[in-house]
Structures are given as structure tokens and as C-alpha cells.
Structure 1
Amino acid sequence: MATPVAAIKALLGVVERSNATTMMELQDELKQAREIVMQDFLKRQQEPWMHSSSVSSSSSSPGCGSSGGRSGARNMIALASGCDLFLKYATRTFLEHGDFVASRNQVVERGQRFAGISLAARDRIAHIGADFIQEGQTVLTHGWSRVVASILLKAAETKHFDIIFLEGRPDAAGAKAARAYASHESKIPTTVVLDSAMGYVMESVDVVLVGAEAVVENGGFVNKMGTYALATCAKAHGKPFYVASESYKFARLYPLNQQDLPVMDKLFEPVNLPENVRVENSPCDFTPAKFITLLFTDLGVLTPSAVSDELIRLYQ
């Protein structure tokens, strides 16, 4: 289960167990629960990054956003977005009813439906995105994403194609993903290349497909470090650049450059350098909308310009 979905289900549990007698009390409990969820996630970032070693099904394959350890810093944006979306969902229900009991029951009912929709999001995206992978193509991807895995494994049921993974430093997420795909029953031909070789291999690539930690209001998105460089390279070579993301990762952020991203823990990998040399490995970067061809979401196939409209609809 993706971290934001788990958080949504946790907040739903708060509503179901609450002894609050007013809407204000229940809203306060939800806000407190949100903070506890966020703080707990920060603590768990100290745990090992990845325990799974295989890609299983489209609903359970590991994703870059699900990682623990220091790399989990990337997923803080998606976690906050999922929590905030549920809180907005609950508040909207409160405003529709004057009676507290009716409002609470409605929140539980709608919350269960919302959690169910979120859980099913990845499967829907898999069916949508798989149609854009054609027979004999070569797909280039970056990082380890559950939703990207769901698309590729779905497409592999009826088509033959190759995957190229960027190694994905500093945590080597791409190399770990390639190891998992190589042992999967689909037997998709898989190649790993250095991150710095993206330009070298791009001319032999047909499409680029990546996941997202967050899709933001201006139509751009946040993802594992190196995605921005990959997108600019794909644009220069005229290759389609697709982004796969669940709608609960739509975040009310409007970054104009890399410095506008929320502060996140850095990823540091031991290197043999003098003490006076600073090493900085930021976990993610921002890719502007102009580099994106299409977004595959559980709301359908979207253009970057349609993201703002969907965000308004989700949060209104």
C-alpha cells in the first residue's frame, strides 16, 4: 500500500473511533492525527530503505515513493498531499450537514469510498498507460515506482518491449528495480545504464515513462533527482515523456524553480573525499510542465494544463 493511502486509511480510522461531539472537535482530532502521521513517517525514515527484492503484481510492486530510510524524504510531499486531501474531503462534508451525527456518518461513508478509490487508482492507471506502450518499443525509466511497474507489467501481458533503467544514484533505485524485473515472470528484457548516459541512450529510446512524488498546480511535477535532466534530454531528442501519478499526489504547490521545493532531508552516500569537500545529494527535483507530453492518472489521461483544473475540483 502506498504511504499516502495508508495515511488516508489511518485518518479514516480516527473518525470511526472518535468520541467527539462537535464538528470542531472532530476536525481538531483529524489535524492532530495528521501531525502524528507526519512525525511518525519522519522517524521511520531512519529504517532501512528497501526490504522487498521482487516485483510481484501491479498492486504490490515496490515504488520509489514507498521507500523508507533517508530516501523517504521524497515521499513527504505525497504524504502531506494525501492527508490534506482527506481533511478537505471531511470539511466539505461537514459544511453540507447541520447535524453532527449525520455529518460524521457521512464522513465515514465517503471516507471509505475515498480510500477505496485511492487503493484502486494504480490499477486504473495501469490500464490507461499500458495502451501507450507499443510492440517492440524501448522504454526508458528512472527510479523505482509502483505505478510505473503496474503499467509496464500490464503492457507486458500482451506486448514485447525492452526497458532501460537509469542506475538511479545515490540510492541505486534503478539498479534495484532492474534486479526485480529480471527475476519477474514477465521476463521483460532489461538494461541498466549510468545516470550520466541518458543522452547516449536516448536516441535508441521510443518513450520515457516516470512516476511522481507530487504533481503540482502549474502542471509540473516533483520526482527523484535526475528526472528534470532526463526530461530536458527527452525534449531535445523529440521523445514522448510520460508521467504516471495517482490523483492523491496532486499537491497545492506552485514551484517556479528548484529552490521553491519544500525542504527535505538530503541523501548522503559515503564517499572518500577530504573533510573540506561538501557532499550534497538532494532527494528530488522539479520538472516544469513544458517538458511533459501527457500524465497518466486515475482521473484519466491529462495534459499538464489540465492539472490546475483537476486540483481546483479536488480541493474546492
Structure 2
Amino acid sequence: MASLGNIPQNDKSKSFDIVETYNRLLHEDPEITMPVAAIEALIELLVQSNADTVYEFLDLVKTQSDYLKSRIPNSISLSAGTDLFQRYMISSMKPTSTGDFETVRQHLLSNGRLFVSRAKAARERIAAYGKDFVRDGSVVLTHGGSRVVGTLLGKAAEASKTGGNVRFKVIYVMNEARSSESKAVVSLLRAKGVPVATISEGAVGYAMGKVNLVVVGAEGVVENGGIISRLGTYQIALLAKAAGKPFYVAAESHKFVRLYPLGQYDLGIDQQVIEFQTEDEKDLTEDERKFAERTPTDEYFGNIDLPKPNTAVDAVDFTPPALVSALITETGVLTPSAVSEELISMWY
């Protein structure tokens, strides 16, 4: 049996590294989301492939999608994109009169690029729907460096300026682990004339009394209408609920994921947020700690060194649907209970 650590190879795409391509796309375009970067990486794979049949074509997409998800520590967000893209590919296939696979291949690639262009345009449509939630004199609390929330608040600021003045303020919850990302959003809003106050994560409860609404982004929207987002979102939602403040989520539909978590520990990823240690364990070397943490599974698979999340940067939490007032998407404003229906319409 092949080791799980080996790249799944196709004889006609051995030189293509989908993980490297995915990371390169994210690095080259800071505005791109993880699901869209994964889809664009799959399209680059298909452009370079020499698949001769539809089956080989779709099998290549599935194999490389699975491999990409296995190599990214938190693959929840990108898996929403790859899974939806595979479904889109299957549903968009059309037989040709000549039976020529190259015609089918070009049709699939064309539809794949159309899918990406629509996904990228979703942010502006969400901003158009969401800006009306920001009203005169309101104070908005946000965090997480969400690009879609930044666009939404920017659109609200532009609408305010056409009326002669800036009508709202923002309280931004800073995350030291992602300080550059947070500062970029703050600078963007201040440049548009929006007064922004920055606070630490420990000051959210103190600030909530000044807040009129909370707007956050999401890495994934799950089947029950809850969201998976940056660590700290859950506690902000709890505080907003306790204070009677609406909690809105701005998210693109390509982040809707077929996952049904019941709590924080059902996400299928090992985040190591809570690590118990004794004084003696602090003195262990990294190799000694890895040896102590080995499991029978590690022995069976050759102790594969799979990537693990950087807890400070990559960790996420689950916010249940009972804490979400509404989801703002490119197709309109949804209640959490409507997410399952939206997923059914997207997949079946």
C-alpha cells in the first residue's frame, strides 16, 4: 500500500504540484479566498493535463482535491470550494454530437473559469446587500480581517459620503497574531473617513455596550446555519447575544460546506488550542515530545509528518446558528435555517 504521505500521481500530470500552486495563488493575490484559490489551482491542473476521457478528467480533479485537503492544516474553507467545483463540473458536462473529448474538455475549462469569475464578484454583491444594515449613527464591531466585511463597510462609507458625512463608527477587535491583516482593514476604513477604534480581544465585553451591531466574516458556513470562523468569533457572538445586539455574518456561497458540527470539537481538525503541560514536559526537546505523543496509527503509517495548524494564526471556532441573526450572501440575506435549503439547491 502506498504511503499516505506520497503525492497522488497521474502519469500525465507528474510535474504539477497542486499544493505549491495553491499557496502561490494565495501569495500572489491577497484578495483571493481559500476556496477560489483551490479552484484556480484545479483549473491550472486541468489546463496542463492530457486526460483522454471524462472519467480520467474528473478522477484527476477528485484525487488532487483530496491530496490538497490532506496537506493543508485547516482545509474546511478550501474543501467547500473544491467539493462545489467538482459538483459544478459534473453538472455542466454536455455530450457533443461528435463525441470529441477535447470539445468537452474545453467546455469544462470554460465553465470552470466562469465559476471563478462569479465567485470573485460575490464580494461586491454582498457589500451591496449588507451596506444597508449600517445605519445613521451606528457603531459596528468586527474582527478577523475579513475581506468581504472590509468591502461591505467600505461600501457603507461611500454611501455615507454621498449624503454629505460619515454616519457610522467601527470598533475593530485586533488580533496580534494577524496584526498586519487587521491593520490593513483599519487603514482602509480610516482612509475612507470612517472613525475606527481598535481594542484587544479581552475588551469586547466592555465595548459591547457601545455597539449597535456585529458584522463578521466566515471561513465556512455549515449545514445547520452555524459558521466556522477565526478563533474568538464564538465568544463575540455569545457577548452580542447576552447584550441583545444583532450578529450578522457576511459570507460568499462558495464557503457553504457540507459539514454538521454539534460543537467546538466536531470540526475534524486538530488545532491543539488546549494543551496541558507539566513543568517536566516543558524541558522536553521537540523530538522527544513527538516520540512521547506517537500513537499506534503513527506506527502503522510510518509516522507521517502531516502539517499542523499554527494555533495563534490558523485556529478557528464554531458559532452555532442560535447566535447568528442573519447571513448576508451574494444571493441575498438568509436566516440560518435557510442554509440547508441553499445547500440542497447548490448540490442537487
- Matched residue SS, 2:63: helix
In structure 1, how many angstroms separate the alpha carbons of the residues matched to 2:263 and 2:70? 27
2:260 aligned counterpart, secondary structure: coil
Task: Specify the alignment match of 2:85 in structure 1.
Answer: 86
1:293 aligns with 2:340: no
C-alpha deviation, 1:304, in angstroms: 0.5
Shift of 1:226: 1.1
Do 1:125 and 1:244's aligned partners in 2 also have CA atoms closer than 8 Å?
Answer: yes
User: Judging changes above 3 Å, is the alpha-carbon distance between structure 1 residues 105 and 170 closer, same or farther for their aligned structure 2 residues?
Assistant: closer
Structure 2 CA distance, aligned partners of 1:153 and 1:295?
A: 18
1:215 corresponds in structure 2 to 221
Which residue does 1:18 correspond to in 2? 49
2:203 equivalent among 187, 197, 200: 197
Residues 111-131 of structure 1 show CA distances to partners (whole Å, capped at 9, x for unaligned) of 122111001011111111111
- The answer to whether the Cα contact below 8 Å between 2:139 and 2:171 also exists between their aligned partners in 1 is yes
For 2:196 and 2:181, how far apart are their aligned partners in 1? 11
SS of alignment partner, residue 21 of structure 1: coil
- Show the counterpart of 1:97: 95
Task: Give how far 1:89 is off.
Answer: 1.0
Q: Structure 1 residues 189 and 266, CA, compared in 2 at 3 Å: closer, same or farther?
A: farther
Worse-superposed segment, 167-176 or 102-111: 167-176
1:96-145 CA-to-partner distances (Å, cap 9, x unmatched) read 53744554333223212211100101111111111111122100012111
TM-score if structure 2 supplies the norm length? 0.72
Is 1:127 matched up with 2:102? no
State the Cα distance separating 1:274 from its structure 2 match: 5.4
- SS of the equivalent of 1:156 reads helix
Name 1:166's counterpart in structure 2. 173
Distance in 1 separating the partners of 2:151 and 2:185:
14
**Contact kept in structure 2, 1:208 and 1:240, CA below 8 Å:** yes
**Could you list the runs of 5+ residues in structure 2 that have no partner in the other structure?**
1-31, 161-165, 284-310
Does the CA contact (< 8 Å) of 1:142 and 1:174 recur in 2? no
- Counterpart of 1:176 in structure 2 is 183
Q: Return the alpha-carbon distance in structure 2 between the equivalents of residues 313 and 7 of structure 1.
A: 22
CA deviations 1:222-252 (Å, max 9, x no partner) are 0011111111111111111100001111000
| TM-score for the superposition, normalised by structure 1 | 0.79
Inter-partner Cα distance in structure 2 for 1:293 and 1:275 = 47
Residue type of the alignment partner of 2:156: A
Contact 2:126 2:152 in 1 (8 A): yes
Task: Go from structure 1 to structure 2 and tell me whether the alpha carbon gap of 1:17 and 1:178 turns closer, same or farther (over 3 Å shift).
Answer: closer
Shift of 1:300: 1.3
User: Counterpart of 1:67?
Assistant: none
Code of the residue aligned with 2:245 in structure 1: it is K
2:64 is matched with which residue: 33, 43, 56? Answer: 33
Structure-2 change in CA distance of 1:257 and 1:267 (3 Å) = closer
Which letter maps to 2:247?
A: F
Q: Which runs of 5+ in 1 are unaligned?
A: 43-72
Distance 2:88 2:253 in 1: 14
Please list, as runs of the form range in 1=range in 2, the aligned pairs for 1:223-262 lying within 5 A after superposition. Answer: 223-262=229-268
Larger radius of gyration between Structure 1 and Structure 2: 2
Residue number in structure 2 paired with 1:46: none
Q: Following the alignment from structure 1 to structure 2, what is the Cα–Cα distance between the partners of residues 13 and 115?
A: 12
Secondary structure (helix, strand or coil) at the match of 1:312 reads helix
User: Counterpart of 1:152?
Assistant: 153
Q: CA deviation at 1:170?
A: 4.7
1:77 alignment partner in structure 2: 76
Query: Residue in 2 aligned with 1:315?
Result: 347
Distance in 2, Cα, partners of 1:267 & 1:261: 13
- Do the aligned residues in 2 keep the contact of 1:166 with 1:195 (CA within 8 Å)? yes
RMSD: 2.7
- Residues 308 and 156 of structure 1: CA distance in aligned 2, closer, same or farther (over 3 Å): same
1:101-120 matched pairs, under 5 angstroms? 101-120=102-121
Q: Residue type matched to 1:292 in 2?
A: V
Give the letter aligned to residue 139 of structure 2.
Answer: T
Q: SS at the partner of 1:26?
A: helix
What code does the residue aligned with 1:34 have?
S
Amino acid paired to 1:97: P
